[in-house]
Amino acid sequence: MALGLTGYVIVAVLLLTVTAFFMARGRANVSAGGDIRLLHSLPNYYGYNAAMFTAVPALGVFAIWMLAQPLMIENSVFKLIPEQMVSEGSSRGLVMSDVRRVAEGLDIAVERGALTAEEANSIRTEFRDVREILGDVGVALGSNVEAEVLYAAQEYRSRSASGTFGMTIVVLGLALIGAAASLFVTNADFRARNTVERGALVLLILAASLAILTTVGIVLSMLFETFNFFRMHPWTDFFFGGSWAPNFRGNSDLSILPLLWGTLYISIIALLVAVPIGLFAAIYLSEYAGPKVRSAAKPLLEILAGIPTIVYGLFALLTVGPALVSVFGRGEEGLLGVEWMSGATAVLTAGLVMGIMLIPFVSSLSDDIINAVPQAMRDGSFGLGATHSETIRQVVLPAALPGIVGAVLLAASRAIGETMIVVLGAGAIAKFSLNPLEAMTTITTRIVSQLTGDTDFASPETLVAFALGLTLFVLTLGLNVLALYIVRKYREQYE
């Protein structure tokens, strides 16, 4: 019911917006006596102004309301849950998950006629088997519904319905007020074009601010949980310890150094694969390939960037890893006759596949940067008698070097943040080793591991994922900022 109502609200706002557009446009023409030369702006601008004041405030409040309402209702409903239900081996997240599941089940039961709206609000576990009723409509519950959870679910439904009804009144009221106000000010002398352009500028600023606010929100969310982690676990062990051995029963060793070493080791191998191949491909495409070859080869090369990383991970696990084992492993059966590699998961496996994934990043960016080198520099080199290869080595590449370095740094930040390839190809052992044929793990892999399953975010073994995430964020952000700075300096130099 609530979802249907929100859909009707959006449709109603859009209909009001279209109606306000044509009414304002017609009102402007009437105020000018049918002569548009007497209007300050073109007739459509008056319609755009009315549509903007009708839709933007209403839809903005609608979006904020839909985001804030579940959080507010959840916080208020959680206060109805007895403390002993949370303390007895459960958590707030698990209890509220049960409440939401029961509330959704009651909504489905009402929609399918298994319960009336009054029964859904008044049903009690001591009189009827709620689990059986919900099971009959396809909502499976792991255990019997407790009375406290059922009561909280009924309150959740009631407050959600009230909130949605209130949102409907507010949103439609704002749309009507905006439409009426815009029609009231519409006349031949009204500067509609200026108002619309200022409104468009405000929307653009809000869009730009949204990206910044999202980044700030991500950082703050990780910061708060990281502070909670360091209140439970010494920061000296996290930054300077030598082992990673989480134990949810306590006494865990949670040092980032073994994970950081595995991350950097795999990233270095990936860059050793991606940078030469990507750079050579970029040189060929920009300096040697003809237009037909370039138009066909570059899109084919960039297809690699569109392949999902889980596919690369499966490729590492099923193809590259076994191929490396056939060379470096299995004792006398291996091509080298020694068993240096005991399994398909290893640093080299993940590094090679990640390097293949990064080739289009390096080649595409380097190709654009090399093409940006002024042709006059090449012509001057040719005029002095240099060959094509000498011009590339001594003129083009030195001129494009700052941009190429920026491309490499961007590829490095992409490699450091990769997850699925290292999950499937590198293994899960946190240790210090120089042997690329051994299994290791990375920061992203451990974040996934620590947050997998039912977690209450109350133990250092869980909260450490946020400290790892914040460290990874700072590392990749620093590389991105450095790369963008280098590329910007390069563009300023040659544009």
Are 253 and 175 part of one and the same domain? no
Q: Comparing C-alpha atoms, which of 395, 401, 374, 377 is closest to residue 279?
A: 401
The answer as to whether 224 is a domain residue is no
pLDDT digits (tens, 9 = 90+) for 346-401: 888 999 999 999 998 889 888 888 888 888 888 898 888 888 888 988 888 888 88
Assess whether 265 and 406 both reside in one domain: yes
| CATH number for the domain harbouring residue 404 | 1.10.3720.10
The reply to whether 480 falls in a domain is yes
- Helix count (H) and strand count (E) of the chain? 20, 2
Specify whether 186 is located in the same domain as 272.
no
Domain check: are 136 and 24 in the same one? yes
178, part of any domain: yes
Same domain for 324 and 180: no
Among 160, 190, 220, identify where a domain stops: 190
Question: Which range marks the domain in which residue 399 is found?
Answer: 244-494
Residues 168 and 275 in one domain: no
Do 304 and 178 have their domain in common?
A: no
Task: Assess whether 25 and 174 both reside in one domain.
Answer: yes
Q: Is residue 195 part of a domain?
A: no
The reply to whether 58 and 164 lie within a common domain is yes
Residue 120 lies in a domain: yes
Total domains present in the chain: 2
- Distance separating alpha carbons of residues 314 and 439, to the nearest angstrom: 16
How far is residue 377's CA from residue 355's CA, in Å, rounded to a whole number?
32
From 166, 190, 214, the end of a domain falls on 190
Instruction: Give the angle 225-65-134 at the CA atoms, nearest 5°.
Output: 85
The predicted structure's pLDDT at residue 50? 92
Is residue 181 assigned to a domain? yes
Q: Please indicate, yes or no, whether residues 249 and 165 belong to a single structural domain of this protein.
A: no
Residues 253 and 140 in one domain: no
User: What pLDDT is recorded for position 466?
Assistant: 87
- Looking at mean pLDDT, say which of 56-60, 231-235, 455-459 comes out highest: 56-60
Cβ contacts of 301 within 8 Å, gap of 6 or more:
281, 285, 359, 360, 363, 364
Listed residues 190, 206, 232: the one ending a domain: 190
pLDDT of residue 127 exceeding 60 = no
Per the domain annotation, does 211 fall within a domain?
no
Q: How confident is the model at residue 78 (pLDDT cuts 50, 70, 90)?
A: confident
Residues 185 and 323 grouped into a single domain? no
Q: Is 253 left (phi over 0), alpha (psi -120 to 50) or beta?
A: beta
CA 79 to chain centre: 32
Q: 488: helix, coil or strand?
A: helix
In-domain check, residue 206:
no
Indicate if the pLDDT at residue 482 is higher than 90: no
